[in-house]
Amino acid sequence: MVRRKFSAEFKMQVIQECLETGNISIVARKHEVGSNVIGRWVREYKEQGTVPPTKGRPTRVTDIEHQQLLQEHEQIGQENDQLKKLLGEKDLEIAILRDLVKKQNPHLLKN
């Protein structure tokens, strides 16, 4: 099982929901995170007054990162389409040149 890491914004959102509703298990099911993990976050928040830090890079993607990834994906898709078109043109050009070479050199038709 892979250990997931969450951003500080996500943790703070979950902690606020827990404090508002007073029910950790409902919030845990909603966000698909273990209730014991959320309970620890809330306890540490109450003790320290801050969100517990995440070690390493969070695995959850923020909305801004998601938009950037979508833009990058669209850009790569457009570039891929351009390269496919260019490759098709090159293949056609090679076929035409081969036909010209064979017409000018009929002895190549035997091979």
Say if CB 80 and CB 62 are below 8 A apart.
Answer: no
Q: With contact defined as beta carbons under 8 Å apart, do 62 and 7 qualify?
A: yes
The Cα 14–Cα 58 span in angstroms is 15
User: Greatest CA span in the chain, whole angstroms?
Assistant: 89
Please give the pLDDT value at position 108.
66
> Global pTM?
0.48
Tens-digit pLDDT string for the chain (111 aa) = 567 788 888 888 999 999 999 899 999 998 888 999 999 999 989 888 887 676 666 566 677 888 888 899 999 999 999 999 999 999 999 999 998 888 887 776 665
Residue 50's pLDDT is: 80
Q: What is the pLDDT of residue 57?
A: 64
Are 41 and 14 in contact by the 8 Å Cβ rule? The answer is yes
